[in-house]
Every structure is written in structure tokens, then in C-alpha cells.
Amino acid sequence: NSTKNQSSGINAEYGGVVLGADTRATGGSIVCDLNCEKIHYIADNVYCCGAGTAADTEFTTKMISSKMELLKLRTGREGRVISALRMLKQYLFRYQGHISAALVLGGVDVNGPALYTVYPHGSTDKLPYVTMGSGSLAAMSVFEDGFKMGMNEEEAKNLVFHAIRAGIVNDLGSGSNVDITVIRKGNVEVFRPYQVVCKKSERAGDYTFPVGTTVVTSSTEMVPFSALTVTDEEVMEIS
Amino acid sequence: MEKQFEIPSLRPSAGPKVTTTTGTFGVVDTLRSGFVNTRSELTARHPLEQSEALYDFNQQKIRLGMANKITGSALPLTIQAERACAARIGRLPGLRSSRLHFEVFAGTDETITIEDVFDTPSPWDEEPQYTRCNNTA
């Protein structure tokens, strides 16, 4: 069961990161999950969008989340985005791309907001705006047109929403709702969903058949089970 | 001694050559070389099979090789000696041991890895725990 989806993020000047993702999980050409969660928790101040195989992204982010918690307990400090990045990079490189997890990692730590992208083979990039997944081209086209340095939170959220929406509308591998996670210094706000883009339509008519549609040619009365009487019982051992 | 702390090559090498003695007509002599598992010889191995089997060993070798270049051979030698002693610390055969000293050297006491999640020995296994982490050199 794989997700061919999209996720994107913006590193905005207001001092935070906005991550967005759609909610469709596909297995080939069948939609397996209409409302799956693609923005994964890594630490209180670090979140990660996952594109690629659903199990790989889920498990990889959970593993790195556990490692980050252990590191936090060891050092006594709040986790940093680059720690999560290095753990992800070394983990994925070890498996030489066989773990198909393309991730967008974002968070705010003592060094400020940071947005990274991690590819399945382990390469990473640090950029102000990134997209991953099947709808990444549609989303990136919106980013390239609309991104400017020094955006505030509302502008950043709006731009991410339109980027994800472009992928949902134009790409078959993306669909359903837009999820957005806003990470600021000190708190995180999760909009799930930020907006419902594709809603399942209502059934247009009544498709039930009225009684009498099928002609009854003959009928026999069935004896109910309770009408039978038990005459002999024997308990046997299973060897 | 310098060869011991060389950074190991991570390229996959050909598997160990299994020499089987052949009897008359070129048939494998089962008495002397055991049963032949043809399938394991013919099917291709996973590209990561060798690198995963040697992962811990190679990572240790890389770390000790770097320590050798930076600080000299005293540090990696003492680490190796103490690690070898820690690998032998344990209870009577058949009893479980936490192997904390060994885990500190392996670096697995402060982190979580794939081995802690998948294919862990169940509490009802008869196999003693210390045979799982073999310090192959």
C-alpha cells in the first residue's frame, strides 16, 4: 500500500514553518485511504511530511521520533531540526534507497526556523520552500509564482494551501483534503483539515427495489432451528 | 597493527566460496561436504544482505579507524580490549543477561534501532540472549 502524494513546506520569515499535505493514499490506481495523515510528529517543535511508500514514511518518522526523544532525555535540551535531519539521512543512506521515503522536514529550534527535504537515498537540501511527491510539480509551480521572502503567517498558509490544492486538482495521486501544520517558536498549530477540496458526492437517487419487483412463483415454509428438539448429546475429546 | 584500523571498504564483495568435494562422476560427495542447498546458491541475494550483516562491525571499524588516525592506536586498542571483555561478561549459560557494559560499547544503550523493534526474541524463547550479539571479528 503506497502513497503517491505530495507534501510541501514554506519557511516563512515570521519565524516559523508552514507544512502542508494532501490526504489521499493510493495503492496503484485505487484510493486506499481518503483521509490519511501525512504530516508526522517527530518532536514537539519538529514535524515531517512524508511522500512515497506509506509504511516506509510512517515507520521511518516513528523511528526518528523515538531517537529524538532519547536524545532529548540524554542531553536535557530541546531537539534540533538538524539532529532529526542527520538521523533521517544516515538511516535512509544505510538502506541505499530501498526505503522509499521522500520527506519534507520542518521545525523551529534555537537556531530559528528550518526547512529541509530528504530524498529516499539519503540526500538532503535546505531551502526556503520545497515540495515532494507526485503532485510536487503542480505545487512547486504555485510556489515559484507566489513565494517571496518576508511573508507573514497568513500569506504563507494561503500559499501552501493553494500549492496543495493545485496538486489535488491536477494530479491523480493526490486528493481529498488539505492538511496544514504551522510551527512557530513555542507552539504548533495543526489544521486537519485546513480545507476540504474533494468531497464525496451524495447519491443522486434511490436505488432500492420495491417489494414485489421479483415475481414469487412458489413458497415453502422453513422450519426454524428452535423448533428442533435435541435427542442425544455426546461430548468428544479432540486428540 | 595499522592494517587493523583501516577504514573498511563498503563495496559488496563476492560471497565466501563454498568448496564441495566431488566424488565419482563429479557428483557432490554428501558424506564429506554435507547436503547441497542449491536454491541458496542460485537465487540472487538481496543487494543489502551483506552490508546489513556486517553493518555493526563496519561501523565499529570506521569509528576505531578514525580514532586511530586522530588520537593514535592506544585508544582504539583499549576500547577493543574492554569491549572483548564486556562481550564475555554474562551469567551462567542459559540465563539471560542485560549486557549493559557491552551495550555501552556498542552504543545501543542510548538509542533505538531496527533490532529493538523487529524480530526481537520473545520472552518464551529457550535460546540464551548472549548468543544473539556475536562479536564477530
Q: What is the pLDDT of residues A67-101, one digit of tens each?
A: 999 999 999 999 999 999 999 999 999 999 999 99
The arithmetic mean of pLDDT across residues B130-137, rounded, is 54
**Are A106 and A115 in contact, with CB atoms under 8 Å apart?**
yes
Q: For chain B, what is the mean pLDDT?
A: 78
Residue A74: which of B55, B110, B112 has the nearest Cβ? Answer: B110
Does the distance separating the beta carbons of B112 and A67 come in below 8 Å?
yes
Does the N-terminal peptide bond of residue A224 adopt cis geometry, omega within 30 degrees of 0?
Answer: no
**Are A38 and A136 in contact, with CB atoms under 8 Å apart?**
no
pTM of the predicted protein model? 0.78
Whether the per-residue pLDDT at A2 is higher than 80: the answer is no
The arithmetic mean of pLDDT across residues B62-77, rounded, is 93
Q: Nearest residue of A to residue B111 by CA position?
A: A67
Measured distance CA(B32)–CA(B24) in Å, rounded = 13
Measured distance CA(A59)–CA(A67) in Å, rounded = 12
Does the distance separating the beta carbons of B55 and A63 come in below 8 Å?
no
What does the block give as the cell for B76? Answer: 582504539
Burial state string for A28-61 with b = 16 or more CB within 10 A and e = fewer than 16: eeeeeeeebebbbbbbbbbbbbbbbbbebbbbbb
B18 falls in which pLDDT band (50, 70, 90)? low
Residues 6+ apart with CB under 8 A from A8: A19, A20, A21, A49, A104, A129, A130, A131, A132, A136, A139, A140, A143, A160, A163, A164
The arithmetic mean of pLDDT across residues A178-196, rounded, is 91
Whether the per-residue pLDDT at A229 is higher than 70: the answer is yes
Q: Which residues of A touch B (CB under 8 A)?
A: 63, 66-67, 70-71, 74, 94-96, 98
| Residue B97: predicted pLDDT | 84
Distances in Å between the Cα of B9 and the Cα atoms of A217, B53, B64 are 82, 14, 14
Q: Nearest residue of B to residue A69 by CA position?
A: B111
Question: Which among A101, A122, A104, A123 has a CA at the least distance from the CA of A114?
Answer: A104
B66 falls in which pLDDT band (50, 70, 90)? very high
| Residue B15: predicted pLDDT | 59
Whether the per-residue pLDDT at B39 is higher than 70: the answer is no
Whether the per-residue pLDDT at A17 is higher than 50: the answer is yes
| Residue B43: predicted pLDDT | 65
Whether the per-residue pLDDT at A1 is higher than 50: the answer is no
B26 falls in which pLDDT band (50, 70, 90)? confident
**Shortest alpha-carbon distance between residue A41 and chain B (Å):** 17
Of A131 and A14, the one with more pLDDT: A131
Mean pLDDT check: name the lowest of A3-7, A233-237, B99-103, B130-134. Answer: B130-134
| Residue A7: predicted pLDDT | 66
**Shortest alpha-carbon distance between residue B51 and chain A (Å):** 9
Q: What is the pLDDT of residues A43-61, one digit of tens each?
A: 999 999 999 999 999 999 9
A103 falls in which pLDDT band (50, 70, 90)? very high
Three-state SS at B124: coil
Amino acid at B94: G
Residues 6+ apart with CB under 8 A from A135: A5, A6, A22, A164, A166, A167, A168, A170, A171, A173, A174
Does the distance separating the beta carbons of A95 and B112 come in below 8 Å?
no
B118 falls in which pLDDT band (50, 70, 90)? confident
Residues 6+ apart with CB under 8 A from B65: B5, B6, B7, B8, B76
Three-state SS at B75: helix
Q: For chain A, what is the mean pLDDT?
A: 89
Chain A residues lying within 8 Å of B110, measured CB to CB: 70-71, 74
Whether the per-residue pLDDT at B41 is higher than 90: the answer is no
Q: What is the pLDDT of residues A198-213, one digit of tens each?
A: 888 888 888 889 988 9
Amino acid at B4: Q
The arithmetic mean of pLDDT across residues B105-129, rounded, is 79
**Are A146 and A161 in contact, with CB atoms under 8 Å apart?**
no
**Shortest alpha-carbon distance between residue B52 and chain A (Å):** 8
Residue A70: which of B48, B111, B117 has the nearest Cβ? Answer: B111
Whether the per-residue pLDDT at B99 is higher than 50: the answer is yes
| Residue B76: predicted pLDDT | 93
Three-state SS at B43: coil
What does the block give as the cell for A110? Answer: 534555537
**Are A7 and A38 in contact, with CB atoms under 8 Å apart?**
yes
Q: Nearest residue of A to residue B56 by CA position?
A: A94
